[in-house]
Structure formats: structure tokens, C-alpha cells
Structure 1
Amino acid sequence: MDLIYYDDSLKEQWDRLVKESRNGTFLFYRNYMEYHKEKYKDKSIVFKDGGKVVAAFPANFTNDYVYSHGGLTYGGIVLNFSLKFKAIDEIFKKILDRYREEGFTKIIYKAIPYIYSKVPSEEDLYILFRNKARLIRREISVTIALQGQFQINSSRRRIIRKAKGKNIIIEESTEYSEFWNLLTDNLKRRYNKLPVHSLKEISYLSEKFPNNIRLHQATLEGEVVAGVVAYENFRTCHLQYIADNDIGREEGALDLLISHLIERYRSLGFNYLDFGICTEDGGKYLNENLIYYKQSFGGTGVNYDTYEVDL
């Protein structure tokens, strides 16, 4: 099996692997990875077997550290369906050896949460353990198993019932500017932060990935009062951004919107609806109000883990 550093000539083969892989998501398509490529120095690796790309390692580097991936929610090894444990173990060894030979001292490895894989694909976690990797970050998310048993709690159902009696309109939109203003104001006021993506970036990405990135809005009298940006990955929907304004909060618009999305994705056959993490400072601080709110829709915990491997 041949190890090759990624370059633009491999874009088509890389993207084909991601599409056909057992654990890749659209975040690993090169058009997504490279929307902010000026911020991250690429050090991605591909593996070829018989001329075909069978695995990929999305990565960037800073000084003597390799990150998989610094610009994405998660990284890790993207695997062809045909690969068995022995081959994956060999791939991981070759990754470690190559980076070590080039003078890198650590790999920061953001594992793909299991909810994004088409089939169980946690060989990497065992291989990390065997290579004495250290868990350095654990962030808890809330996820609804849409095809299983879940229940929205009584107080949330009451708010949703009342909201249904208002003139709130739920709609999908391709125009992000009004919601982005609402989201930005919300994040500044509550957390003194900005969205990870700028309006220009999310507009670009939604145009590149119209079947994966969708904006769902709740409007009242023509004004956007709540919204959710949904990332659709195979049978998992991740709510990338969730926000409402004061009017939306008072009228229960966000709760109504989320209940609509739960039903939408359940009826479409999705397995999971993931609300995203409820922590700060690498998982050391838990936002208890936020996790309570997300779990009130019937969700339970999924961890987003990051490991450190010495080279």
C-alpha cells in the first residue's frame, strides 16, 4: 500500500473515496476543506492500493504538530469499505512513521463520532489506544436516535403546542443574510463570540453543497425570528447553527422549528439528529442550561473526542 501526500491532481480520487467510504462525510470533500485553505497548511495523506485510493488522512500542520483536522469539527482516517483491521493498522503505522521522519512531534487526532459512520468504524480508537494516545478533549453533544424511542418532555411539548397557534411560518431558504445577522447578534450578546463561518463563507459552502447544507427558518409577520443551519450527512443531520431572537423566544418559534426538523428527518429515514456540543474549554466546562434544553427534545449524549499521539 503506497502512501502519497495529497495534491490537487488527486482531488477527484479523494472525493470519490469520501463519497464511497464507510465513515466519510461531506466535510472531507476538498471543496469544503479548502474554503479557508489560507488559514491551514495542508499535510493530508492518501493511500493507494493497486492504483486506487482506499484511505485518506485529512490533516494540516502548525510548527511540529499535525492536526486531523484543525479546520474541521473532526478528522481521522477515511476508510474504503474493503479495508480490514490489519490494513488499517498498517495505514496508521505508516502515517506515524512518515510524520515522525519529517520531524513532527505530535498528532492531534479528532475522532469521527460514530453517528456519522455508515457502519461501525472504530478501529482507529483501538489503534490509538495501542499507540498510547492520550484523550485530551472530550465534548458532549446531544443526539436524538430518530428511529428509536425518544420523547419530547412535557414543558417543551406545551410550548410547541402554543407556538402552533401563532402565525409562525416554517420555511427553507437559500438567503442567509437575515438569519446571519440574528445569529451574530445572539452569539455576541450571549457569549461574546462570532459564528465560525462568515456570511460569505456559509453562502459559498451552501452553494457548493446544496444537498448537504440547508437553512430552515421560522418567520413571524415577515421577520426571521429563529433559524437552524442543518448539515446533512448520509443518515445523520447535524444542527450546525441554532438561534432565535427575543420575539422568537417569546413565541416559541425555535422549539416549533426544531420539532418540525425532528419530524422531517425522522420521516426521511435519517438515523440521528445531532444538536452539537454543550461544552466550552475543551469539555472542561459544561453549559448545563444548554444540555438541558437540547435533551428536552429527547436526545441523549454522544462524545466528540480528541486524542494526542506522540511521534
Structure 2
Amino acid sequence: MFSIQPYQNLHKAKWNNVINQSQSATFLFYRDFMEYHSDRFHDNSLLIYENERLQAILPANCVENSIHSHQGLTYGGLIVTENFDSSDYTDMLGYLYSYLKQNNITHLYIKALPEFYISSNQKYVDFKQNEENTIVYKSEKVLAIDYSKPLNIHKSKLKNYRKNETKGFVIEEETDFSLFWNKVLCPRLALKHNTKPVHTLKEMMYLKSKFPNNIKQYNIYFNDEVLAGITIFDKGSIVKSQYGATTDLGEKLRAIEYLFLKLIYKYKDEGKSFFSMGTVTENTELGYNPGLLKQKEELGCSTYYQDFYKIML
């Protein structure tokens, strides 16, 4: 019933068509997004056919004898078309595992979608279902606001928000990421965390050119001086704050807090389902940053989880 092909450039239209047909897919799975950092990863994406009809894709890269649901993406797994019969999941996975073993792959690593990305009517392959050789080797906290519930923003945040309404802040949606990247984000990450953004400025400008309606940059100014910014990835029913950073003055004036609340209200009014603020992961004994967790909870977020699977073939 099933056959598998490694992805090649000639399959781009077919691949993107599956993304168009799948409710659980987001713009991150389009080839134009996946390939902006193709020099960093050995792509080993797969197309899975059922009776010669393309029914699923696996965004993936290869590291030695292991296949990873693409390490350049926040999440992954098998993306299936809406007409795929869910009763065939087990058979499809069995065929996939056999194919990988025949190609000398010993392990398959999957970064599952965070819990709130999957609604009850969506088709999504659960890799831990009935699999003896599958372990959850990591589970990360992901913070998000569920717009179907009343907003639960801390009273101190709302008090400061109301005060700042008359301060004279100006919020602009920008098409150029340069000011935020060079004056706010990169200096802040270097100073506070001795690190750099995952995306370079050049990469962000490229991605913005490919996905102008999905990637947005909002900066906040006071007296013509940039104080903070937030980069939004709009994934349809879910929006995610991909980057958020502030200057020292912006921190003092609570500018990023004000900007977050403005965007939270904006996307609620637009009918989005969730506003995601990403993970609070930290390489410490706790495994997460309690201060960052508190900040996001006070902005109205609840904790969800993203599981990471290791499948021993």
C-alpha cells in the first residue's frame, strides 16, 4: 500500500500542496522556509505515498545514523493530508520504520507539536501510541494564551498598562528588521545571555520577503527612540512571539510589557485562537527559567507541553 521517496527539489510543488491540505501544518513547513538554512542541515525529508497518492510528508534531516524531524524547525513530525484514513496510521508508521531500518537508520527523533496546536478535529500522528520502542526523552513547557477563555492578566500588569496609555508611546509595524536587530535584539542577547538570535538579520529579511503576511515586526518608540520590539510569526489560528527584546530605557519604562499587551488585545480582536510566547527552557537543574515563566504567566499565559520522542529502530 505504501511507498516512500526522498524529497528532491522537483517535488517542491507536491510538498507544498500537502501543507496546503493539512490543518496541522503551518508556514514553517513550506520549502521556502525550511531551506533558508539548508547549509546547516543535511536534508532527509520524505514523501509517503499510499497507492501512489501522496498522503504524508516528514520534514527531516540526517545526523550520522539518526533521522530528526527537522532540527531547524520548532516542531515537526508527520504531516498528513486531511483525506488520509487515520485507521492506516499504524500501517504507515510500520512502513516508515522498515524503510528507515533498510537505509541503516537506527533512531528517529520527533519534536511533536505543542499541545495547543492540535485540535480534536485535526489529523496528527501520535508517535508514542502503541510503540514499545518509543520514549519521551524531553518535555518542554510552552506558554500560550487561550483566547477561548477570559484573559487572565495580572492586575499589576493592567495597572502599568493603563498608566502607559497616556505616556506617549508609539507602536509601528516595520517592514525592515534592521533597527530592532542591530539596536535592541542583538545587543540585549549579547549582554544578558552571551548569545545571538537563531536567525541572522539577512535570514529574517529573506523570510519576510517570502512570507510577508506571516512574519511581522512591531517596534515601540518614545520620543523617536526605539525602546523594544516583538517579532511575530502568524501561523493562522495561532500567533507566536518569535523574538522580544528591550533596551535598558525600555525596560525602565515597561515598554515591552506594554507592547505585548497591545498585541495580545490586537490578535484577540482579530479572532485568533492562541497567542504563543514560546518556551521558558533553560540549561539549569530546574530545566526552565522561573522568572521568565512568571513574567509570561502574568501576561495571561498558561503552561502547555511539547514532547520530544526517541524511537529506537
TM-score w.r.t. length of structure 1:
0.95
Report the counterpart of residue 164 of structure 1 in structure 2. 165
How far apart are residue 293 of structure 1 and its match?
0.3
Which range moved further: 81-90 or 277-286?
277-286
Report the counterpart of residue 23 of structure 1 in structure 2. 24
Conserved 8 A contact 1:170-1:257 = yes
Conserved 8 A contact 2:114-2:142 = no
Report the counterpart of residue 302 of structure 1 in structure 2. 304
- What amino acid is the match of 1:59? A
Report the counterpart of residue 268 of structure 1 in structure 2. 270
Q: How many angstroms apart in 2 are the aligned matches of 1:37 and 1:112?
A: 22
Q: How many angstroms apart in 2 are the aligned matches of 1:65 and 1:281?
A: 24
- What amino acid is the match of 2:302? T
Q: How many angstroms apart in 1 are the aligned matches of 2:131 and 2:192?
A: 42
Counterpart check, 1:287 vs 2:298:
no
C-alpha RMSD of matched pairs (Å) = 1.6
Counterpart check, 1:193 vs 2:195:
yes
1:92 to 1:39, Cα distance in 2 relative to 1, 3 A: same
Q: How many angstroms apart in 1 are the aligned matches of 2:124 and 2:22?
A: 14
Tell me how many residue pairs correspond in the alignment: 310
Match of 2:235 among 229, 233, 236: 233
Q: How many angstroms apart in 2 are the aligned matches of 1:78 and 1:61?
A: 18
Counterpart check, 1:247 vs 2:249:
yes
Which range moved further: 194-203 or 246-255?
246-255
How far apart are residue 250 of structure 1 and its match?
1.4
Conserved 8 A contact 2:141-2:305 = yes
Per-residue displacement from partner, 1:108-165 (whole Å, max 9, x unpaired)? 11011233346444542443x5243111121101100013122211111111112212
1:282 to 1:250, Cα distance in 2 relative to 1, 3 A: closer
Unaligned runs of 5+ in 1: none
Q: Which contiguous aligned blocks of 4+ residues in structure 1 show a shift greater than 3 angstroms?
A: 49-52, 117-123, 281-284
Per-residue displacement from partner, 1:138-197 (whole Å, max 9, x unpaired)? 110110001312221111111111221211111110110110121111111111111000
Report the counterpart of residue 107 of structure 1 in structure 2. 108
Conserved 8 A contact 1:114-1:120 = no
Which range moved further: 31-40 or 146-155?
146-155
TM-score w.r.t. length of structure 2:
0.94
1:146-157 to structure 2, matched below 5 A, reads: 146-157=147-158
Q: How many angstroms apart in 1 are the aligned matches of 2:49 and 2:136?
A: 30
Report the counterpart of residue 35 of structure 1 in structure 2. 36
Per-residue displacement from partner, 1:256-286 (whole Å, max 9, x unpaired)? 1111111111111100000010012399521
Q: How many angstroms apart in 1 are the aligned matches of 2:258 and 2:292?
A: 17
1:67 to 1:283, Cα distance in 2 relative to 1, 3 A: farther
1:50 to 1:310, Cα distance in 2 relative to 1, 3 A: closer
Which range moved further: 160-169 or 29-38?
160-169
Q: Sequence identity, in percent?
A: 29
Per-residue displacement from partner, 1:29-68 (whole Å, max 9, x unpaired)? 0000000101111111112235442210111001111110
